[in-house]
Amino acid sequence: MQEMFCYQCQETAGNTGCTKAGVCGKKADVSGAQDFLIWVTKGLSAITTRLRGEGKPVTKAVNHLVSMNLFATITNANFDQGAIEARTRETIEVMNGLRRQLSNQDNLPEAAQWHSLNEEEWHDRTPFIGVLATENEDIRSLRELVVYGVKGLAAYSKHANVLLNDDEEVDAFMQRALAETMEEKSVDELVGLVLETGEAGVKGMALLDKANTSRYGHPEMTTVELGVRGNPGILVSGHDLRDLEMLLQQTEGTGVDVYTHGEMLPAQSYPAFKKYSHFAGNYGGAWWSQKAEFEAFGGPILMTTNCIVPPPESYKARLYTTGAAGFPGSPHIDGGIGEEKDFSGIIAHAKTCPAPKELENGTLVAGFAHHQVLSLADKVVEAVKSGAIKKFVVMAGCDGRQKGRSYYTDFAEALPKDTIILTAGCAKYRYNKLNLGDIGGIPRVLDAGQCNDSYSLVLIALALKDAFGLETVNELPLIYNIAWYEQKAIIVLLALLSLGVKNIHVGPTLPAFLSPNVTDVLVKNFGIAPNGTVEEDMELFFA
Ligand code: SF4
Ligand code: SF3
């Protein structure tokens, strides 16, 4: 028997599946613990779905537990087996309590009947409940597509939850979808569930957009410093804006600067964060380059979410995690939803460290979320009408370490000068420092923010469709060339499909979890295609 099986991300071994250890660094034991956590979370979800069916309420605490469990199993979020197993224990305890509230306990799936808190029994059962437990490869493919989409959605939902925004409909959907992946369903029924997942994805991203902008203001065009100052600093990475807010408040007046890294760069454009004078620039690039960058930073790093690259001993003790993130041997800062986290330890640590070593200098321009772009709408529409802008290219998504991703840099450079790139997510680091210029004052790279801010790109596309009096967004001069890596990109992709967007190009490889037949369905119904070489794609899009 193989030791593990995971194929949820783009870098899966041989583009088929990680079976001994993850390319990401996830060990077989942790992979098994995550599989078991997902299994009992599905069981809990079957119970909550039935409770709702019986007209009984499910608490926010239970909804949050489900989301956090899913989030903790996203690629590069949590490598700490103890933390994963603590979640499993809590989930089984909650499940045991809720099961008793059911009027009807007949025919619950095995996962929902699981009650044992004995870890040996978990380990004995684990080899039989993972991805490969579904034998039919098309059913497995669709079930996993739903689960990965729901994982991405759970992450976005959790970011809204920490800002005290909840959408019971989204939570109820996530739990029903998880429960339905354990039921006997036809391919057609599962394709329907995939599209429903995309619809819920749109709702989840809208919820987060509302949560972020109502608390922190609308992102605005901002020049971000890439160099460093002379004070000690803390580097914040990941996606959680609430963690950043608390850290900025607690570091104010301490002489410690706060820098952003990776997916935290978009925070630089929010009015509520820009007001802090010790909120220094952005340091480094996308997640995969963190080993060299975290080494050079010299001070403590706060990982609020994925993507963690397993840290070497040299900086493991100054890599702090919080929320769903975790790494064994690295300090973890606790704090639940609605609680004030105590960052005094990491701040004291920063004071003992030297100022960061400069990696680069100069600036970049960010902050083109929907509100900012729509305030420029007249200018944009005029530029399209005059022919100054010929096409928009959506290049949102994730970055990754595979060499082939240099395609995205080359593609951005090869684009005709009358095109505008719309981006969101860490995929942008492949081209956001290239100085591609502007068209009549409109930068050629419009960065809407984090991967979840792909929602902004949807709003921008819808506004352009209306401005040009078109029936659908597919009639716009808009190309989709999306880069994916982990499960958040999956929910973004499913959200776009549910909105009727066609002909999305996905790279650098199609997901390994898409079986040939499922790929066929996506090609026939949605025109999904893998990207080609830069030359082929220039020919395809611009000939
Ligand atoms: Fe492999 Fe990706 Fe799974 Fe890590 S998350 S074990 S790299 S498929
Ligand atoms: Fe990047 Fe991990 Fe996905 Fe939020 S930080 S886009 S890969």
Token pair listed for 528: 């999904």
- Element of type H or E holding 333: strand 332-333
Using the structure block, give the residue that is written with the tokens 């066609």.
Answer: 502
Tell the residue nearest (CA) to atom 2 of ligand 1.
Answer: 9
Minimal-distance CA residue to ligand 2 atom 3: 398
C-beta of residue 204 within 8 angstroms of C-beta of residue 177: no
Distance of CA 11 from the midpoint of ligand 1 (Å): 7
- Point out the ligand 2 atom lying closest to the alpha carbon of residue 486: 3
Pairing of strands 438-439, 442-443: antiparallel
Whether residue 130 sits in one domain with residue 24:
yes
Q: pLDDT at residue 539 above 60?
A: yes
Which tens digit of pLDDT belongs to each residue from 422-434? 999 999 999 999 9
What is the CA(3)–ligand 1 centre distance, in A? 13
**pLDDT (0 to 100) of residue 43:** 98
In a domain, 4, yes or no: no
Among 273, 269, 91, 49, CA closest to 178: 49
Is position 440 within any domain? Answer: yes
Pick the atom of ligand 1 nearest to 18's CA: 1
Clarify whether residues 197 and 268 are in a common domain.
no
Reply yes or no on whether the pLDDT at 1 is more than 60: no
Choose one of 153, 185, 215: the last residue of a domain: 215
- Ligand 2 mean position, distance from CA 513 (Å): 19
| Protein residue with least CA distance to atom 3, ligand 1 | 6
173 and 289 in a single domain? The answer is no
Question: Looking at residues 385-412, what average pLDDT do you find?
Answer: 97
Asked whether residue 248 falls in the same domain as residue 329, the answer is yes
Which of 443, 459, 283, 460 is CA-nearest to residue 358?
A: 283
pLDDT bin (cut points 50, 70, 90) of residue 543 is confident
Residues 403 and 465 occupy one common structural domain = yes
Please report which ligand is nearest the Cα atom of 491: 2
The arithmetic mean of pLDDT across residues 194-208, rounded, is: 98
The first and second tokens of residue 142, run together, are 């669709």
Asked whether the predicted pLDDT for residue 82 surpasses 70, the reply is yes
Nearest residue (by CA) to ligand 2, atom 5, is 307
From 159, 183, 215, give the residue that closes a domain.
215
Q: Are residues 344 and 394 in the same domain?
A: no
Q: Does 356 map to a domain? A: no
39 and 67 belong to one structural domain:
yes
Question: pLDDT tens across 403-425, in order?
Answer: 999 999 999 999 999 999 999 99
Q: In the chain, how many domains are there?
A: 3
Q: How far apart are CA 460 and CA 451, in angstroms?
A: 15
Q: How many angstroms is it from 493 CA to the middle of ligand 2?
A: 14
Q: Which of 192, 215, 238 is the last residue of a domain?
A: 215
Is 55 contained in some domain? yes
- Interval 487-516 mean pLDDT: 97
| pLDDT single digits (tens) 23-50 | 999 999 999 999 999 999 999 999 999 9
The domain that contains 281 carries what CATH number? 3.40.50.2030
Shared domain for 470 and 331, answered yes or no, is no
> 259-269: per-residue pLDDT in tens?
999 999 999 99
The confidence score (pLDDT) of residue 422 equals: 98
Confidence of residue 180 (pLDDT cuts 50, 70, 90): very high
Residue 230 pLDDT > 90: yes
Q: Closest ligand 2 atom to the C-alpha of 238?
A: 5
Domain at 191, CATH number: 1.20.1270.20
Query: What's the pLDDT at 378?
Result: 92
308 token code pair: 């963690």
Average pLDDT, the chain: 97
Q: Which domain holds residue 304?
A: 222-351
pLDDT of residue 38: 98
Q: In this predicted model, what pLDDT tens digit does every residue of 115-171 receive, in sequence order?
A: 999 999 999 999 999 999 999 999 999 999 999 999 999 999 999 999 999 999 999
Tell me the CA end-to-end span of the chain in Å, nearest whole number.
Answer: 51
Residues 404 and 342 in one domain: no
Which atom of ligand 2 approaches the CA of 305 most closely?
5
> 2 pLDDT exceeds 80?
no
In a domain, 301, yes or no: yes
Q: Contact, 262 vs 285, CB < 8 A? A: yes
pLDDT > 80? residue 488 = yes
Nearest-atom number in ligand 1 for the CA of 17 is 8
Does residue 109 surpass a pLDDT of 60?
Answer: yes
Q: Are residues 194 and 67 in the same domain?
A: yes
Same domain assignment for residues 65 and 189: yes
What average pLDDT does this structure show over 326-349? 97
Query: Long-range contact list for 334-343, CB < 8 A, 24+ apart?
Result: 337/64, 337/161, 337/162, 337/164, 338/162, 338/164, 340/246, 341/243, 341/246, 343/246, 343/247, 343/250, 343/251, 343/302
SS3 content of the chain, % helix, strand, coil (to 5): 50, 10, 35
Ligand 1, pocket-test mutation among 2, 4, 12, 16, most atoms within 8 A of CB: 12
Same domain? 396 vs 342: no
Q: Which of 303, 454, 488, 490 maximizes ligand 2 atoms within 8 Å of its Cβ, making it the mutation to test the pocket? A: 488
Percent above pLDDT 70 for the chain: 100
Closest by CA to 300, choosing from 282, 284, 320, 285, is: 320
